[in-house]
Chain A
């Protein structure tokens, strides 16, 4: 097994989490290279979202290690993990409904995150320019002043992607980014994602196989908390154990 290989931006090793004896993730290992787009697929309850929860610090691992650029994430607080360069998008769109689109993006802007920093934060030209730039990318330029609560489901998903984007993380994790979107929105989102995953490592959880084939560098298949198969899309599709899990029951 390769340990601390500089070629990997993220090394997950023997990761296990147990909830009252139930192992939602069980001895999982995988490695992500810089600029790779990894898609995790698997049936419901396979532990995909839990893996993201573990990486971003929302859930604490029972055993195992998560190494990101030399940081041991299992021992860090959520905000420290973010500052180390990991961004996360949730499955259900999670934006601040009472704030405007502009303010939503402003909060994610990577400056003034301490108590004192937030009290003295100024909206200078840099902030303004960056927010407009991102708003342009996520198709929300005209909506900057609107309360985020009034956005459509798809627009909220975009806004959350925008909030991630403004953080400029080196590792971006997206949990079902196109779920619940209309066909047109889906197409636009695929386009958006294809553009933003270029300069960074990305982990995506997705069910839509067409979408997966479109963006994935490599695919990891999870089943019952374990890694079932890993490789290119063609490779995992041909893997008989994968076929068994998806069609066997």
Chain B
């Protein structure tokens, strides 16, 4: 009770099963195209894991996670675009050596704020630092003034709207509505062939597990318990001597950075970044990935992201008009019927039976678990 190891047995098994699925089952079962697709789904899992921390544990519902996803994605895309826009490759432009969309928009020199993205080191730093700084500013302004709950959700949603309009409107600098496309190499390594995509899938998976472990460590620390306490009785936490705002700012920053890493991996695996992934609609859909998995369950978030995106691809391939009904219904069902998502269903229905069968068949191994 007072001394706990880092992972309980159940949790360790849950992690192992997820690792098995992501590292072995998917690569073996799926063709290159599908594997790349699942890699894309998994980039959304970064956002969902961050949301479990912010929303599930901290009670902070951000409807602007797409912005952070986009920040990471755009940082990476800027780097890749600059690498693809060598003077040789862009010789036919009126200004060779700058990204094609800038040339189309009569911009004749690379803007100053694009220039550092020639460096990969700077780009990696920016992928972490830009969303951190941005979320710090938002978090500081909002949480210090005790804005939370619904108001926070609405304002983050407005920020998502602003970001999209801005990116679309400033097409000379951002590629506009098409986004930044035609990305080719990462430091000379061609990211387009299937072999590269498979490699990126594994890089993505490793990073995702790193995020999961960080999230788990936060939840298991006293910080995690303070978050739960804040959700129960925020005032009491304050009068136990905690500066509630700085805890919220921190967890919001962590969520934003995770989303950003996911966005960067999205750009690498999909080969472009566009404002359609930043706006209100994708941002709120990211919340549903988390809700479907179970807003309190880190592993559930990954399953949620996989399941909803897979359902979207499958349904919209065969019945495009049904998909929105399905997604809409999912939003309503997850809130009304199973607010704890897949993880909740697992806890309520599967776990008791597993325990029962474990008792019955003394040492038989249990079935694959859905969530922690």
Contacts and interface: CB of A to CB of B under 8 A. Distances in A.
Interface string A72-96: 0000011100110001101000111
Interface in A103-123: 103-104, 106-108, 110, 112-115, 118-121, 123
B197 to A, nearest CB: 36
A97 interface: yes
A160 B229 CA distance: 13
A128 interface: yes
Contacts of A118: 221-223, 226, 242, 247
Interface size for chain A: under 10, 10 to 19, 20 to 34, or 35 or more residues?
35 or more
B92 interface: no
B232 A99 contact: yes
Interface residues of B, number: 27
B214 to A, nearest CB: 11
A88 B242 CA distance: 14
Contact of B235 (A94, A103, A128): A94
Given A94-B233, A115-B250, A118-B222, A99 B239 contact: no
Given A118-B221, A118-B223, A98 B228 contact: yes
A144 interface: yes
A96 B222 contact: no
Nearest to A97: B232
Highest count of chain A CB atoms <10 Å: which of B236, B240, B244: B240
A181 to B, nearest CB: 19
B241 A90 contact: no
Interface string B210-252: 0000000010011101101101110111111111101100100
Nearest to B222: A121
Contacts of B9: none
B1 interface: yes
B188 to A, nearest CB: 39
B222 A79 contact: no
A87 B223 CA distance: 21
A23 B122 CA distance: 57
Contacts of A102: 1-2
Contact of A98 (B222, B232, B244): B232
Given A102-B1, A107-B237, A113 B218 contact: no
Nearest to A87: B239
Interface string B99-135: 0000000000000000000000000000000000000
B3 interface: yes
A110 B225 contact: no
15 contacts: A78-B239, A82-B238, A82-B239, A94-B235, A95-B236, A96-B233, A97-B232, A99-B228, A107-B222, A107-B237, A113-B241, A115-B223, A115-B246, A167-B240, A167-B241
Given A96-B233, A97-B232, A118-B242, 8 more contacts: A79-B238, A82-B241, A83-B241, A107-B229, A112-B222, A118-B221, A119-B223, A163-B236
> Which 6 pairs from chain A and chain B are nearest by CB?
A82-B241, A121-B222, A118-B223, A96-B229, A78-B238, A96-B232
